[in-house]
Homo-oligomer: A and B are copies of this chain.
Amino acid sequence: MNDVSERVKGLAARDPFVIFLGAECVEAGPGTAVVRMMVRDQHMNFNGTCHGGVLFSLADAAFGLASNSHGRLAAAIDAHIGFTAPVRVGDALTATAVELNRSNRIGTYRVDVRRNDGGVVAAFTGTVYITRREHP
């Protein structure tokens, strides 16, 4: 379990786009991952609220880590996101991914993105194709 957590955090720490966003994996286990970030000026859209792409990217990062936590390389096939509340500069966001189902080839994950006040701001579902390749 500890090994899984260390390995998954290591994947996040060398993910260029996760770093570029300013996000960080704070917890992980078999089939789960928790990723956090602080919303900053560069994450806004032209309406002055957090860009949908930022919320998706955060959820997608948690999904990617959770689906790769078992050691085999998993590639995202598709994802759906519902935006349930606006997000502002200064909000701290937490994306929590859980495994809903995993067969030999396909895995399905759900991710909730929450503000620090606990409100759900995005509901994400993602599917991966699981390859035969092991992570290095």
Chain A residues near B (Cβ < 8 Å): 11-12, 14-21, 41-47, 51-54, 56-58, 60-61, 64, 68, 73, 75-86, 100-101, 103, 105-106, 108, 110, 120, 123, 125, 127, 129
Query: A14-B46, A17-B42, A64-B45 in contact; A53/B53 too (CB < 8 A)?
Result: yes
Contact, CB under 8 Å: A79 / B52? yes
Contact, CB under 8 Å: A125 / B79? no
Q: Hey, which chain B residues are within 8 Å of A83, CB to CB?
A: 75-79
- For the complex formed by this chain, how many copies does it contain in all? 4
Query: A51-B17, A52-B64 in contact; A127/B73 too (CB < 8 A)?
Result: no
- State which of B19, B125, B129 has its C-beta within 8 Å of the C-beta of A125: B125
